[in-house]
């Protein structure tokens, strides 16, 4: 019986850990899981709603770290996670994705000689100004088992000198959640509530510091969204960080003036967002997860960044990396509306969680 601590911290972690926690529950003779929430995300709409929607168990331990600078947040997770590992002495700690909680918990484990597995290992944007790229690089250097979502990730790790026996290609566990929840999501009334049922619409999400922390960039993107809104309504569930910047930069009134072409909503839960996204004609985003989910759903996606750590979504999928120039965004948006493409990267099949569990068992013996 393997004792495993699964770590979640921020919104994009929840849909990656849910299928792993569920598979461990199902395989209760082989696994004794504990769930630790670092508290990096703490608002109901950024955290609790996802536990409900994804059927995640209540965390066994909540570290309650909250917001702060990168150093404060990372240090707070480390300080509070170390005693948890010392107390429970797990066989494995599983960390996912690339948020500050991921690297903080991996580093605690490496120092305590506790085995740590990284799910979604090997992705690289090659842009070290992104905090997530630093988290990815460091976590992969110190983790004992690197579980990758796509073959390009294996290549990146090998190129960094990581021995092949630490790397295992398991596929994309976030797509397990997507397939598992699509039917439940179909009962959401979000399209009706937002007044877009039966008509074409676009969905946008933005939260990267590089897009929202500088006024000129954010204003440029908003101008593009307003122009797209003249063709079809653009629904914008807004991340708390982005909401705060709109107010700070005095852009909130401009956005309100663009209603109803551009419709702001609070951040949505997993099922509502899945329902909204799956009916969209187009998604515009700077999120990593959405690039993958739109690939799995065959929805055209424009990535409003200069690079992506998920090139398979461009090569095999529906994604285009278009930057933040307003004219280019509008041009690409209109050109994408009628694009349809079948896309199924290998092992994005809804079965990644069981492969992750098998890899933990095999590596243990
Ligand atoms: C974090 C992750 C990012 C991920 C994103 C998803 C890092 C370095 N970044 O970025 O990779 O894509 O989560 O959302 O880990 N806030 C709230 N309520 C919350 C959480 C945050 O109001 O529940 C506000 C706070 O003002 C906070 C700000 O959002 O300072 C940023 O939160 P933080 O967790 O630092 O980073 P994200 O931008 O959310």
pLDDT tens string for the chain (365 positions)?
999 999 999 999 999 999 999 999 999 999 999 999 999 999 999 999 999 999 999 999 999 999 999 999 999 999 999 999 999 999 999 999 999 999 999 999 999 999 999 999 999 999 999 999 999 999 999 999 999 999 999 999 999 999 999 999 999 999 999 999 999 999 999 999 999 999 999 999 999 999 999 999 999 999 999 999 999 999 999 999 999 999 999 999 999 999 999 999 999 999 999 999 999 999 999 999 999 999 999 999 999 999 999 999 999 989 999 999 999 999 999 999 977 777 789 999 999 999 999 999 999 76
Q: Write the CB contacts of 121 (distance below 8 Å, at least 6 apart in sequence).
A: 136, 139, 140, 143, 146, 147, 148, 153, 157, 167
Provide Rg for the chain, Cα atoms.
20
One domain, residues 216 and 317: yes
Question: Given the CA of residue 209, which atom of ligand 1 is nearest to it?
Answer: 38
User: Does residue 320 lie in a domain region?
Assistant: yes
User: Does residue 178 lie in a domain region?
Assistant: no
276 lines ligand 1 (CB under 6 A): no
User: Does residue 342 lie in a domain region?
Assistant: no
One domain, residues 189 and 291: yes
Question: Does 239 qualify as catalytic in the annotation?
Answer: no
Residue 168: give its domain's CATH number. 3.40.50.2000
Question: Given the CA of residue 239, which atom of ligand 1 is nearest to it?
Answer: 14
* 0.95 exceeded by pTM: yes
Question: Given the CA of residue 68, which atom of ligand 1 is nearest to it?
Answer: 30
Residue tagged 């509530």 (tokens) = 193
- From 12, 67, 266, the mutation candidate for ligand 1 (largest count of ligand atoms within 8 A of CB) is 67
User: Does residue 177 lie in a domain region?
Assistant: no
134 lines ligand 1 (CB under 6 A): no
25 CA from centroid of ligand 1 (Å): 29
Name the token pair of 114: 């506790």
One domain, residues 211 and 299: yes
pLDDT for 338 equals 79
131 lines ligand 1 (CB under 6 A): yes
What Å distances lie between residue 346 and 151, 173, 309, 349, CA to CA? 9, 12, 17, 8
Residue nearest to atom 29 of ligand 1 (CA): 241
One domain, residues 65 and 199: no
Q: What is the rounded CA–CA span in Å between residue 323 and residue 160? A: 27
One domain, residues 89 and 214: no
Q: CA 59 from chain center: how many Å? A: 19
Residue nearest to atom 19 of ligand 1 (CA): 41
240 lines ligand 1 (CB under 6 A): yes
pLDDT for 341 equals 76
- From 76, 207, 238, 243, the mutation candidate for ligand 1 (largest count of ligand atoms within 8 A of CB) is 207
pLDDT for 348 equals 97
pLDDT for 339 equals 76
Q: Which domain holds residue 142?
A: 2-172+348-364
User: Does residue 341 lie in a domain region?
Assistant: no
One domain, residues 267 and 126: no
By the 10 Å C-beta count (0-12 exposed, 13-18 middle, 19+ buried), 105 is classed as buried
For the chain, what is the domain count? 2
42 lines ligand 1 (CB under 6 A): yes
One domain, residues 92 and 198: no
User: Does residue 19 lie in a domain region?
Assistant: yes
223 lines ligand 1 (CB under 6 A): no
Residue nearest to atom 20 of ligand 1 (CA): 41
User: Does residue 343 lie in a domain region?
Assistant: no
Catalytic residue among 37, 41, 118, 207: 207
One domain, residues 206 and 267: yes
100 lines ligand 1 (CB under 6 A): yes
One domain, residues 236 and 331: yes
Name the residue among 13, 27, 16 with its Cα closest to residue 77.
13
Name the token pair of 259: 């209603």
């Amino acid at each position: 019986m393997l004792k495993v601590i699964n770590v979640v911290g921020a919104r994009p972690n929840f849909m990656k850990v849910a299928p792993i926690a569920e598979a461990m529950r199902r395989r209760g003779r082989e696994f004794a899981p504990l769930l630790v929430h670092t508290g990096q995300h703490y608002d109901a709409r950024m955290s609790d709603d996802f536990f409900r929607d994804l059927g995640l168990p209540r965390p066994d331990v909540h570290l309650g770290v909250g917001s702060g600078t990168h150093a404060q947040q990372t240090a707070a997770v480390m300080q509070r996670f170390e005693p948890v590992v010392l107390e429970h002495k797990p066989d494995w700690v599983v960390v996912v994705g690339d948020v500050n909680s991921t690297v903080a918990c991996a580093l605690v484990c490496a120092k305590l000689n506790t085995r740590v597995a990284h799910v979604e290992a090997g992705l690289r944007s090659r842009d070290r100004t992104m905090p997530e790229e630093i988290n990815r690089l460091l976590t992969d250097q110190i983790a004992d088992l690197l579980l990758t979502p796509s073959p390009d990730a294996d290549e990146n790790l090998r190129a960094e000198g990581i021995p092949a026996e630490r790397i295992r290609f398991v596929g994309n566990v976030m797509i397990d959640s997507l397939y598992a929840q699509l039917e439940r999501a179909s009962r959401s009334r979000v399209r009706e509530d937002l007044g877009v049922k039966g008509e074409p619409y676009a969905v946008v999400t933005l939260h990267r510091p590089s897009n929202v922390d500088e006024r000129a960039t954010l204003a440029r993107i908003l101008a593009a969204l307003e122009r797209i809104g003249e063709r079809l309504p653009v629904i914008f569930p807004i991340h708390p960080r982005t909401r705060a910047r709109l107010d700070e930069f005095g852009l909130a009134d401009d956005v309100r003036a663009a209603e109803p072409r551009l419709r702001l909503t609070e951040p949505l839960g997993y099922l509502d967002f899945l329902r909204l996204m799956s009916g969209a004609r187009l998604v515009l985003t700077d999120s990593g997860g959405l690039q993958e989910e739109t690939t799995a759903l065959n929805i055209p996606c424009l990535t409003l960044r200069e690079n992506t750590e998920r090139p398979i979504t461009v090569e095999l999928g529906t994604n285009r990396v278009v930057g933040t120039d307003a004219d280019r965004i509008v041009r690409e948006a209109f050109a994408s509306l009628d694009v349809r493409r079948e896309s199924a990267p290998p092992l994005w099949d809804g079965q990644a969680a069981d492969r992750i569990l098998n890899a933990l068992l095999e590596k243990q013996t």
